[in-house]
Structure 1
Amino acid sequence: MAKRPAAPRKTLSEANLAALGADRLAALLIEVADGDLKRRLRMELAAEVGAPDLALELDKRLNTLAGSRTRVSWRKRPELLADLQMLRRMIVGRLGAMDARLALDRLVAWFDLYPSLAARVKDPKGELTLVFDAASADLASLASVAGPDVAGPVLGEALSTRLSEWASWVGRGAAALSPALARRLLADLTMGRPRPTGRLALVVRKLADRAGDIDAWVMAIPDDDRRKPEVSSEIARRLALAGRAEEARRALEASRTEPPQANRWGRARIAERPPLPDGWYVAEIAVLEAEGLADQAREARWRLFERTLSEDALRTLLAGLADFEDVIALDRAFAIAAAFADPMKGLAFLMNWPAQREAADMVLARRDELRGGVDDTALWAARLAGRYPDAAVLLLRARARALVRLGDGVTGEVEGLIGEAEALAGASGSETLEPHATFVEGLKALAAPRRPVWR
Structure 2
Amino acid sequence: MAKRPTTAKKSVSAANLAALGADRLADLLMEAGAADAALKRRLRMELAAEVGAADLAFEIDKRLAALGGSRARVSWRKRPALLNDLRSLLRITVDRLASLDARLALDRLVAWFDLYPGLVGRVSDAKGELPLLFDAATVELAAVASAAGPDVAGPVLVEALSTRLDPWASWVGRGSPGLDPTVARRVLAVLPQGVRPTGRLALVVRKLADRAGDLDAWIRSIPDEDARKPEVGAGIARRLALAGRADEGRAALEASRVEITPKARWGRSAADAGAPSDAWSAAEIAVLEAEGRWPEADEARWARFACTLSADDLRALIARLPDFEDVEALDRAFEMAAVHPDAMRGLAFLMTWPALREAAALVVARADEIRGGHEDLPLWVGRLVGRTPLAALILVRARARALLMLGPEVAGEVQALVSEAEAIWSTLGEDASATDHATFVAGLQSEARRRRVW
Taking structure 1 as the reference length, the TM-score comes to 0.91
* Partner SS for 1:358: helix
Structure 2 partner of 1:400: 400
Structure 2 partner of 1:28: 28
Larger CA deviation: 37-46 vs 424-433: 424-433
- How many angstroms apart in 1 are the aligned matches of 2:446 and 2:315? 46
Note closer, same or farther for the CA distance 1:206–1:328 as it changes in structure 2 (3 Å cut): same
- How many angstroms apart in 2 are the aligned matches of 1:401 and 1:334? 28
Structure 2 partner of 1:423: 423
Q: CA deviation at 1:445?
A: 2.7
Residue segments in structure 1 that go unaligned for 5+ positions in a row: none
Return the letter of the residue paired with 2:284: E
Structure 2 partner of 1:125: 127
- How many angstroms apart in 1 are the aligned matches of 2:2 and 2:259? 93
Structure 2 partner of 1:439: 440
Say whether the 8 Å CA contact 2:338–2:362 is kept in structure 1: yes
Say whether the 8 Å CA contact 1:288–1:296 is kept in structure 2: yes
Regions of 4+ moved over 4 Å: 1-7, 260-263, 407-410
TM-align CA RMSD: 2.5
Aligned residue pairs total: 448
* Partner SS for 2:121: helix
* Partner SS for 1:448: helix
Q: CA deviation at 1:201?
A: 0.8
Structure 2 partner of 1:360: 360
Q: CA deviation at 1:170?
A: 0.9
* Partner SS for 1:428: coil
* Partner SS for 2:354: coil
- How many angstroms apart in 1 are the aligned matches of 2:427 and 2:420? 11
Say whether the 8 Å CA contact 1:189–1:204 is kept in structure 2: no
Note closer, same or farther for the CA distance 1:332–1:162 as it changes in structure 2 (3 Å cut): same
Note closer, same or farther for the CA distance 1:68–1:261 as it changes in structure 2 (3 Å cut): farther
1:46-445 map, 5 Å? 46-192=48-194, 194-259=195-260, 271-273=269-271, 274-408=274-408, 410-429=410-429, 431-445=432-446
- How many angstroms apart in 1 are the aligned matches of 2:79 and 2:260? 57
- How many angstroms apart in 2 are the aligned matches of 1:70 and 1:344? 61
- How many angstroms apart in 2 are the aligned matches of 1:391 and 1:41? 71
Structure 2 partner of 1:44: 46
Return the letter of the residue paired with 2:270: E
- How many angstroms apart in 1 are the aligned matches of 2:276 and 2:110? 45
Q: CA deviation at 1:13?
A: 2.6
Return the letter of the residue paired with 2:345: K
Say whether the 8 Å CA contact 1:410–1:447 is kept in structure 2: no
- How many angstroms apart in 2 are the aligned matches of 1:416 and 1:69? 66
Say whether the 8 Å CA contact 1:241–1:290 is kept in structure 2: yes
Say whether the 8 Å CA contact 1:72–1:122 is kept in structure 2: yes
Say whether the 8 Å CA contact 2:197–2:205 is kept in structure 1: yes
- How many angstroms apart in 2 are the aligned matches of 1:324 and 1:255? 39
Return the letter of the residue paired with 2:37: G
- How many angstroms apart in 2 are the aligned matches of 1:335 and 1:99? 65
* Partner SS for 2:426: helix
* Partner SS for 1:372: coil
* Partner SS for 1:330: helix
- How many angstroms apart in 1 are the aligned matches of 2:268 and 2:311? 36
Note closer, same or farther for the CA distance 1:392–1:159 as it changes in structure 2 (3 Å cut): same
- How many angstroms apart in 2 are the aligned matches of 1:251 and 1:136? 34
C-alpha offsets along residues 120-170 of structure 1, whole Å, 9 cap, x if unaligned?
222233222111111112111211111111111111111111112111111
Taking structure 2 as the reference length, the TM-score comes to 0.91
Note closer, same or farther for the CA distance 1:344–1:52 as it changes in structure 2 (3 Å cut): same
Q: CA deviation at 1:64?
A: 1.7
Identity %: 65
Say whether the 8 Å CA contact 2:344–2:371 is kept in structure 1: yes
- How many angstroms apart in 1 are the aligned matches of 2:451 and 2:358? 39
- How many angstroms apart in 1 are the aligned matches of 2:84 and 2:391? 57
Return the letter of the residue paired with 1:123: D
Return the letter of the residue paired with 2:120: A
Note closer, same or farther for the CA distance 1:442–1:173 as it changes in structure 2 (3 Å cut): same
* Partner SS for 1:292: coil
- How many angstroms apart in 2 are the aligned matches of 1:130 and 1:310? 37
- How many angstroms apart in 1 are the aligned matches of 2:410 and 2:441? 10
Return the letter of the residue paired with 1:338: A
Q: CA deviation at 1:23?
A: 0.5
* Partner SS for 1:180: helix
Return the letter of the residue paired with 1:78: P
Q: CA deviation at 1:103?
A: 0.8
- How many angstroms apart in 1 are the aligned matches of 2:416 and 2:82? 52
Q: CA deviation at 1:196?
A: 0.9
Say whether the 8 Å CA contact 1:381–1:396 is kept in structure 2: yes
Note closer, same or farther for the CA distance 1:220–1:405 as it changes in structure 2 (3 Å cut): same
Note closer, same or farther for the CA distance 1:262–1:403 as it changes in structure 2 (3 Å cut): closer
- How many angstroms apart in 1 are the aligned matches of 2:126 and 2:370? 45
- How many angstroms apart in 2 are the aligned matches of 1:365 and 1:271? 30
Note closer, same or farther for the CA distance 1:114–1:413 as it changes in structure 2 (3 Å cut): farther
* Partner SS for 1:411: helix
Say whether the 8 Å CA contact 2:72–2:122 is kept in structure 1: yes
Return the letter of the residue paired with 2:176: A
Q: CA deviation at 1:378?
A: 1.9
Return the letter of the residue paired with 1:232: G
Q: CA deviation at 1:7?
A: 4.7
Larger CA deviation: 132-141 vs 31-40: 31-40
Q: CA deviation at 1:422?
A: 2.1
* Partner SS for 1:196: coil
Say whether the 8 Å CA contact 1:409–1:447 is kept in structure 2: no
C-alpha offsets along residues 307-328 of structure 1, whole Å, 9 cap, x if unaligned?
2111221222222222222222
Say whether the 8 Å CA contact 1:409–1:448 is kept in structure 2: no
- How many angstroms apart in 1 are the aligned matches of 2:292 and 2:151? 41
- How many angstroms apart in 2 are the aligned matches of 1:29 and 1:344? 67
Residue segments in structure 2 that go unaligned for 5+ positions in a row: none
Return the letter of the residue paired with 2:53: A
